[in-house]
Amino acid sequence: NAGVTQTPKFQVLKTGQSMTLQCAQDMNHNSMYWYRQDPGMGLRLIYYSASEGTTDKGEVPNGYNVSRLNKREFSLRLESAAPSQTSVYFCASYREAGGSPLHFGNGTRLTVT
């Protein structure tokens, strides 16, 4: 099983450019999440999705949009990148029943110049 797969692994953008980070999980989990991690700040929740077609804001949603097209995929879009969005982004998924832990992808390191 691949688990949670994120692409790309690295990306450099210029200020104002747009891009989409892709995430897919093959564990049949209902809930999916996007976090960002900055030095000294821990992991902060950007958006999450309880099921296909539903999304909710987390702690730091400004400057981002998300799309949950189907159960497997949850994408994060930066419409106009800013240097403050330089960070490591993690996608994660979670099965609501059964008490399983959050499963993380390997992360995307994004630099905005």
Partner 1 sequence: EDKVVQSPLSLVVHEGDTVTLNCSYEVTNFRSLLWYKQEKKAPTFLFMLTSSGIEKKSGRLSSILDKKELFSILNITATQTGDSAVYLCAVGVYTGTASKLTFGTGTRLQVTL
Encoding tokens for residue 113? 């110049």
d(CA 79, CA 103): 27
Nearer to partner 1, 14 or 40 (CB): 40
CB of 90 to partner 1, least distance (A): 6
The residue behind tokens 């930066």 is 78
Residue 43 in contact with partner 1, rule: CB under 8 A? yes
- The alpha-helical segments, DSSP class H, found in the chain are none
d(CA 23, CA 66): 11
CB 54 within 8 A of CB 32: no
Candidate list 48, 60, 93, 110; residue touching partner 1; CB under 8 A? 48
In the stretch 13-32, what mask flags binding to partner 1 with x, by CB under 8 A?
-----------------xx-
Closest CA to 8 of 23, 18, 26: 23
Residue 98 in contact with partner 1, rule: CB under 8 A? no
Residue 56 in contact with partner 1, rule: CB under 8 A? yes
Residue 66 pairs with which residues in a beta bridge? 76
Candidate list 19, 61, 73, 104; residue touching partner 1; CB under 8 A? 104
Which residues of the chain form contacts with partner 1 (CB under 8 A)?
30-31, 33, 35, 40-45, 48-51, 54, 56, 58-59, 90, 94, 96, 99, 101-107
